[in-house]
Structure 1
Amino acid sequence: MKKLLIGALVGGILLFIWQFLSWTVLNLHGNAYQYTDKQDAIMSFLSTQLDKEGQYHLPGLPADASREQHEALMKSMEGKPWALIQYHQSWKMNMGSNMIRGLIVDMLIVGFFCALISRMNSLNFIAILISALFVGMIVFFNVPYTNHIWYQGFDLMAYFIDSLVGWGLVGIWLGWLYGKKKA
């Protein structure tokens, strides 16, 4: 249990540090958050057109649209622009709280991984590192890549790098920790 807690604590911190570097210092995700000098006009217009918070796919159809309407929309939109808008009516962000929550989640998921590898029969550095990289790829394929198939984002490679580097660091740490022989 002690090894699991130490592994989760340090591994979660390593994962968190990589995420911090990726999003800030290295700005790998910068392509996904581009600037337009028309932002004030766009926000003003959106505020007059959207009456509630939500994510909007434009063009779209009402929830009760028929299959025929969906097919007609798909055919009419081919080659035309589209947008995915996340609209919030008020800026509410507590950076400190969000970072603490992120760190706790990182520690929790590394703890889950520690619980899995502690049950491995052949527990050695390479097996743990490869397992961590597999987890990183599962994380990448499950959300960023699957979403990209439908809604092509602009930072897919950044998520790929995050998965490999972040989970690679976790794998190196846990490979060292769990691969040590018991005294």
Structure 2
Amino acid sequence: MKKLLLPTLAVGVILFVWQFLSWAALNIHGAEQQYTPNQEAVLQVLSEQLEAGSYFLPQAAPGSTADEQEAFMKEHAGKPWAIVHYREAFEVNMAAKLIRGFVIDLVAGFLLVWLLSQMAQADMKRAVLASLAVGFMAYLSIPYLNSIWFEGNTLGHLVDAIVPWGLSGLFLGWWMNR
């Protein structure tokens, strides 16, 4: 267990620092969080019409028959649609979110370290390729798959699949073979 602790911590730090760079310093995800000068008007309408939650608009009412759903889809084909994540209060508790994020990064780091430790020979090449494979699996199965259905921009997530996982693989390839 001790053999896994230090590399887990290192990978957790690599992931955590990259996420800060990706989302804040470099703004790689800017296309996913665009500004609109109409934000106050939009938020006012949302606050009057929605409870906190996540919405896909438009969609047929729950309990609609198959015929009603088909008619609804035909009626709305070619018209605007939206995905809305609405919250009633803007929470600025960064400390709790950063701690929670770092814990998740440590868990992901542990899983990667454990996975590589199961290999008979985790040389530099295998460590980097396996780490990149983990990053690509995460990218393909969640953000990219969602972009197929919901037409989102996933370029930032692709970069997030390559850079921190590649760096983690480089570190672990060195660490496990020193």
Give your verdict on TM over 0.5: yes
CA RMSD in angstroms, aligned pairs only? 1.2
Is 1:177 equivalent to 2:175 in the alignment?
Answer: yes
Identity %: 39
Query: TM-score when scaled to structure 2?
Result: 0.95
Shift of 1:67: 1.9
Tell me which residue corresponds to 2:4. 4
**Structure 2: runs of 5+ lacking an equivalent:** none
Matches within 5 A, 1:105-116: 105-116=104-115
Tell me which residue corresponds to 2:42. 42
Question: 136, 155, 158: which one pairs with 1:157?
Answer: 155
Matches within 5 A, 1:123-134: 123-134=122-133
Shift of 1:139: 0.6
In 2: Cα distance, 1:135 partner to 1:98 partner = 24
User: What is the SS of the residue equivalent to 1:126?
Assistant: helix
Tell me which residue corresponds to 2:87. 88
Query: TM-score when scaled to structure 1?
Result: 0.92
**Structure 1: runs of 5+ lacking an equivalent:** none
User: What is the SS of the residue equivalent to 1:179?
Assistant: coil
User: What is the SS of the residue equivalent to 1:84?
Assistant: strand
Is 1:168 equivalent to 2:166 in the alignment?
Answer: yes
Tell me which residue corresponds to 1:23. 23
* Large movers: runs of 4+ above 3 Å: none
Report the number of matched residues. 178
Shift of 1:35: 1.3
Tell me which residue corresponds to 2:67. 68
Tell me which residue corresponds to 1:117. 116
User: What is the SS of the residue equivalent to 1:56?
Assistant: strand
Look up the equivalent residue of 2:19 and give its one-letter code: Q
Q: Which has the higher contact order (CA 8 A, sep 6+)?
A: 1
For residues 18-58 of structure 1, what are the alpha-carbon distances to aligned partners after superposition, in whole Å with 9 as ceiling and x for unaligned? 111011111010111111111111111111111x2111111
